[in-house]
Chains A and B, each alone.
Chain A
Amino acid sequence: MNCRQTKQLLHDLADGRLTESVARDIQRHVAECSDCRVFQQRDRQLQQLLAVKRHETPGPSYFTNFLSDFHKRLAEANAPRPTFWKQLSDRFAFDPLVALRSGFAPALGAAFVVALLLRGSGLTSRVEHPNASNITVPHRLAAVPSAVDAPSSLLTVAQADFHTPRYVLDRIAAAPASYDVASIHF
């Protein structure tokens, strides 16, 4: 019987679960081995220390509401699950009417004012072109068909304004074209 086997069987020895011959072997080993004797003593003290755990008890009123809490939780567990949209709206607390009142209406008003201001200043005009869609050019150029190689009928000029030399290329379908003033030759 070696130390490891002895240590593993010490509890069975204490509980009387070993055969006589095995028990005798272990007792002989413990009597001769100080390491195992210390282990046995510390193990017994550990078991005594664990007795503290057996006396930990919740307060007398701890279980007073246990059954009613159980019923409540059971009812919640059995309640039908909310739909996806309900979960989503709950998550973001989204109420269309509230949103309309608090966020959408002011945004719409602001957009309207900006549109009015833009329309009043007449900053840009749109040019319809087969190769370059949504090209915005200054009115000075838009008024000149050869500048963008398009029939004059396709050019629309909202207002005549020649003070804004800004060219914005939103998207070009074919090859990129330069609308730099310097590159345009009349």
Chain B
Amino acid sequence: MTTLQKLADKLNRRTGSIAEARQAEQVVDLSQTADETLVARVQDGDHGAFDFLVERYKERLYATVYHMTSNHADANDLVQDAFIKAFTSIRSFKRESSFYTWIYRIAVNRTLNHLKRGKNRQQFSLDDIDNHIQSDPDFVELMSHVTPRREVGLNELQEKLNAALQKLSEDHRAVVVMHDVQGLTHADIGKALHCSEGTVRSRLFYARQQLQGLLADYL
């Protein structure tokens, strides 16, 4: 091999390695990737893959925690905490359930602990109500009846509802939020809260009875 050939070969190799490095630097879009693949990547040390899981589930988790706390700032802190907890213990995640079920459980349990320690902020900071409510059949039917609730504004109704929910015990509030607001099944709630379906049903029954009493003026 002549010196010229050797030089050309060396140049080719260097060009190849530069191309490889550039390829590695490119941001990989994993937004369409399945949870299992993302979790496997995070467990293998690709920490950036966790960002896609955060982006995917932040709003759903926020909604759950917000309905339980009725407070923006608490909800934000608790969801952040849940993601941090999930990230730091992702190696212990055995993939026996879906990632969402796992992090949902973390978020709900952290929220319940937070509420039971009495650390929640006492004042409400409620989210706005979106415009879709005007076309929600449940809401339309509710407002069609002649009752005091027609006289009060939507914001007042929202405040009364949140105040009534906050008067329930943490466990009762959790099942109402998960079942009646978010539409989870009894079985899923039982798994998330580590209790039987019977317990979930019983808590729901008593929570609804209590809510009926608290919101008697608006029913």
Interface residues, chain A, CB within 8 Å of chain B? 7-8, 11, 39, 42-43, 45-59, 62-63, 66-67, 69-70, 73-74, 77-78
Q: Are A63 and B59 in touch, CB under 8 angstroms?
A: yes
Partner of A59, one of B88, B128, B162, B205: B128
Docked complex Cα distance between A56 and B55 (Å): 20
Residue of A whose beta carbon sits closest to that of B77: A73
Shortest A132–chain B CB gap in Å is 59
Docked complex Cα distance between A54 and B183 (Å): 10
Q: Are A55 and B59 in touch, CB under 8 angstroms?
A: no
Docked complex Cα distance between A50 and B136 (Å): 11
Residue of A whose beta carbon sits closest to that of B131: A55
Interface residues, chain B, CB within 8 Å of chain A? 51, 54-55, 58-59, 62-63, 66-67, 72, 76, 80, 83-84, 87-88, 126-130, 132-133, 136, 138-139, 141-142, 145, 149, 154, 157-158, 161-162, 165, 176-177, 180-181, 201, 204-205, 208, 211-212, 215, 218-219
Docked complex Cα distance between A43 and B133 (Å): 20
Docked complex Cα distance between A132 and B76 (Å): 70
Q: Are B142 and A49 in touch, CB under 8 angstroms?
A: yes
Partner of A48, one of B58, B88, B142, B204: B142
Q: Are B128 and A74 in touch, CB under 8 angstroms?
A: no
Partner of B201, one of A8, A45, A49: A8
Docked complex Cα distance between A127 and B5 (Å): 104
Chain B neighbourhood of A52, CB < 8 A: 129, 133, 139, 154, 157-158, 161
Q: Are B72 and A58 in touch, CB under 8 angstroms?
A: yes
Partner of A49, one of B63, B128, B204, B218: B218
Q: Are B58 and A57 in touch, CB under 8 angstroms?
A: no
Partner of A67, one of B54, B129, B141, B158: B54
Residue of A whose beta carbon sits closest to that of B134: A55
Q: Are A46 and B215 in touch, CB under 8 angstroms?
A: yes
Docked complex Cα distance between A49 and B126 (Å): 16
Q: Are B80 and A69 in touch, CB under 8 angstroms?
A: yes
Shortest B155–chain A CB gap in Å is 10
